[in-house]
Amino acid sequence: MKASYWLTGAVLFGALLSTAIPLQAKATPTVYVTFWFDTEDFILPQADDAAKRLAEMFTARGVQATFKIVGEKARVLQERGRDDVILALAKNDVAYHSTWHSAHPTPSEYTRDLDWQEGVAEFLRREGVGLETVRRIFGVSSSCYGQPGGSWTPQSYAALRVFGIPLYLDVTSHVNLNDRPFWYGGVLNILELGDGVIRTDWKDEDVKQACAKFDRVFEKLTGEGGGIVSVFYHPCEFVHRQFWDGVNFSYGANPPRNEWKLPPTKSPEEQEQAFKAFEAFLDHIVRHAGVRLVTAREIPSLYPDRVYSNPLTQKDVRAIAEAFQTRLSYVDLGTRIVSAGEGLLALSQSVAESDGNRRPADVNVEFACGPASVPQQFLTEGTFRWDALRQAAQELIEIAHGTQQLPSVVWVAGQPLRPEDFAVTLAGAVAAESYPAEVPLRRGELEARKFVADDSSHLWGWVIFPRGFNAPHMMALAKLQAWTIKPAVLRKIN
């Protein structure tokens, strides 16, 4: 974080406090607004100047936006000698937007038929290249990632953890939890926010409407105790008539570099009007009382996950066991929220550490991805001795610790169980006053799966995909990761 930004921001905020905000309004919850730009067009040179102009707009106001930069775009900026653009962007927050964006194969295309581990490895291999280019040229690690177009893939999450990227910032309907920030795959997600994604079109009338919408959403979010608004653009939209990739890579087309076409551009007057419209919208938000602009780098600290920082108490473990009786999904413990997977790990850990009927006072859980596959053969009825269940719980903890992933099959007394069934069976025993000697198998379904979309054509409407693209296997893997989904809770500062 740059000292100058904080200083300017503090002075600005102080000025706002003294002039615009009456003292009693200080308790109003903060609405955070994050501006982000997918900086991806490596074909149209005018897009470089657009990015610079937008970056400078923020700097001039003592605030920052997040520029999610494509690896090839960063490389091309350097090749074109645009150190001025690189410097202007670097005064804002630098984030990542894939190596090649729309050149095929895009992430959904190359992970479509891969299993979990191979998909993670392929994402690391292909997207690690551009990530390193952005790091080398801008001199910082990327604060967040968002997929090119609609090219989402569940394996990206495990890869982001390896990259050390804690935030997924984009707009996409592949996974969504009530249009609010959420955790999935061990990564914080700011995706669909319902009304909370706001943009203005280019006419003065559009700006007026967008500002009015912002004011309405601001009221709604302050009523919820604060929240976040996401505003996104592409620098190239300020200067082009059509996207750079649409004219070159549509429907699976992949022409060689020497055949790339420049997209048509707006007239100089239209370009000015676009910048002017955006600037008016930006000013409306920057000057709005109760608003704080945040970059992707700051967002994770607004949504701390308290599950790993403090042990879960025996009371928490019992609450999880109770909740799993009716619904296998995330559990709100009041002070924090555990995902279904974290709940299963907490139950297993508690049982594994129990000495006879004496249960541990508290347990620590570690993060684990959802399982990698769905078993085809598994037990559907039966009864287990307590010792066998306890041993299986111990083994589950060992596997999760060793692989950072939940097992696809849980073996109890030599019999294969689905993790869902094991979770609900174990919950039944943990919820009892004392551990029973015999435990009947109970069947469970992971209700949290509903937060991950079913494979359907509306997920794959991005014009860059080959016609008829779908990804049923990939979305099935995505549903397995619903073990990790839970709401992200905004830190209360006021």
Please say which residue, 38 or 237, places its beta carbon nearer to Zn ion.
38
Chain position whose Cβ is nearest to Zn ion = 38
Give the contact letters, 146-185, x = binds to Zn ion (CB under 5 A), - = no: --x-------------------------------------
Stretch that binds Zn ion, among 21-29, 144-152, 378-386, 400-408 (CB under 5 A): 144-152
Question: Could you check whether the bond before residue 419 is cis, i.e. omega within 30 degrees of 0?
Answer: no
Token duo for residue 2: 């740059």
**349 neighbors 314 (Cβ within 8 angstroms):** no
CA distance linking residue 6 with residue 18, whole number of Å: 18
Question: 258 to 287, contacts with Zn ion by CB under 5 A?
Answer: none
| Binding residues among 325-354 for Zn ion as defined by CB under 5 A | none
b/e 254-268 (16+ beta carbons within 10 angstroms → b): eeeeeebeebebbee
Contact flags string 98-137 toward Zn ion, x per CB under 5 A: ----------------------------------------
Q: Which is nearer to Zn ion, 38 or 122 (CB)?
A: 38
Taking the complex as a whole, the smallest distance from the CB of residue 332 to Zn ion amounts, in Å, to 34
Q: Kindly give the residue spans of alpha helices, DSSP state H, lying in 42-139.
A: 46-60, 71-79, 83-90, 107-111, 116-138
For residue 150, the minimal CB distance to Zn ion (Å) is 10
Judged by beta carbon, residue 163 or residue 249, the one nearer Zn ion is: 249
Least gap, CB of 151 to Zn ion (angstroms): 9
Residue 47 · residue 235 · CB < 8 Å: yes
Q: Which two tokens stand for residue 334?
A: 């009041």
Dig out the tokens for 492 from the structure. Answer: 């209360």
CB of 133 to Zn ion, least distance (A): 16
Strand 291-293 versus strand 227-233 pairing type: unpaired
Q: How many residues bind Zn ion (CB under 5 A)?
A: 3
Question: Quick one: 72 or 305, whose CB is closer to Zn ion?
Answer: 72
Cβ partners under 8 Å of residue 342, min gap 6: 307, 365, 367, 484, 486
For residue 410, the surrounding DSSP H or E stretch is strand 410-412
* Measured distance CA(17)–CA(295) in Å, rounded: 22
Pick the closer one to Zn ion by CB: 122 or 237: 237
Torsions phi, psi for 190 (to 5 deg): -115, 100
* Span from 30-38, 47-55, 156-164, 374-382 in contact with Zn ion (CB under 5 A): 30-38
Smallest gap from Cβ 101 to Zn ion, in A, equals 6
Helix locations, 304-375, DSSP H: 314-326, 340-353
Nearer to Zn ion by Cβ, of 246 and 416: the residue is 246
Question: Least distance in Å: CB of 176 to Zn ion?
Answer: 19
**Residue 148 near residue 105 (C-beta atoms within 8 A):** no
Shortest distance (Å) from residue 152 CB to Zn ion: 12
Is residue 111 within 8 Å of residue 84, measured between CB atoms?
A: no
- The residues facing 332 across adjacent strands are 337
C-alpha 45/C-alpha 80 separation (Å) is 9
Question: Which part of the chain contacts Zn ion (CB under 5 A), choosing from 5-13, 140-148, 214-222, 256-264?
Answer: 140-148
In terms of C-beta density within 10 A (0-12 exposed, 13-18 middle, 19 or more buried), how is residue 318 classed?
middle
When the beta carbons of 68 and 297 are compared against Zn ion, the nearer one is 68
Q: Report the residue number, 245 or 342, with the smaller CB distance to Zn ion.
A: 245
Name the one range near Zn ion by CB under 5 A: 82-90, 145-153, 199-207, 213-221: 145-153
SS3 of residue 60 by DSSP: helix
Cβ nearer to Zn ion, comparing 148 with 196 = 148
Question: x/- binding map, residues 235-254, to Zn ion, per CB under 5 A?
Answer: --------------------
Stretch that binds Zn ion, among 35-43, 162-170, 175-183, 395-403 (CB under 5 A): 35-43
Could you say which DSSP state residue 330 is in? -
H/E segment holding residue 383:
strand 383-385
The residue (of 38 and 316) whose beta carbon lies closer to Zn ion is 38
- Asked if omega into 256 is within 30° of 0 (cis), the reply is no
CB of 246 to Zn ion, least distance (A): 11
Please give the span between the terminal C-alpha atoms of the chain, in angstroms, as a whole number.
Answer: 22
| CB-based contact 416:378 (threshold 8 Å) | yes
Compare residues 142 and 405 and give the one whose CB is closer to Zn ion: 142
Closest contact distance (angstroms) between CB of 463 and Zn ion is: 12
Question: Closest distance between Zn ion and the C-beta of residue 160, in Å?
Answer: 16
- Which residue among 5, 30, 38, 122 contacts Zn ion (CB under 5 A)? 38
Nearer to Zn ion, 236 or 429 (CB): 236
Task: Tell me how far, at minimum, the Cβ of 35 lies from Zn ion, in Å.
Answer: 15
Residue number, 38 or 305, with CB nearest to Zn ion:
38
> To the nearest whole angstrom, how small is the minimum distance from the Cβ of residue 234 to Zn ion?
6
Is residue 40 close enough to count as binding Zn ion by CB under 5 A? yes
Only segment of 37-45, 181-189, 205-213, 363-371 that touches Zn ion (CB under 5 A): 37-45
- Please answer whether residues 323 and 331 qualify as being in contact, where contact means their C-beta atoms are separated by less than 8 angstroms: yes
Q: Which stretch of DSSP H or E encloses residue 36? A: strand 31-39
Q: Report the interface residues with Zn ion, using CB under 5 A.
A: 38, 40, 148
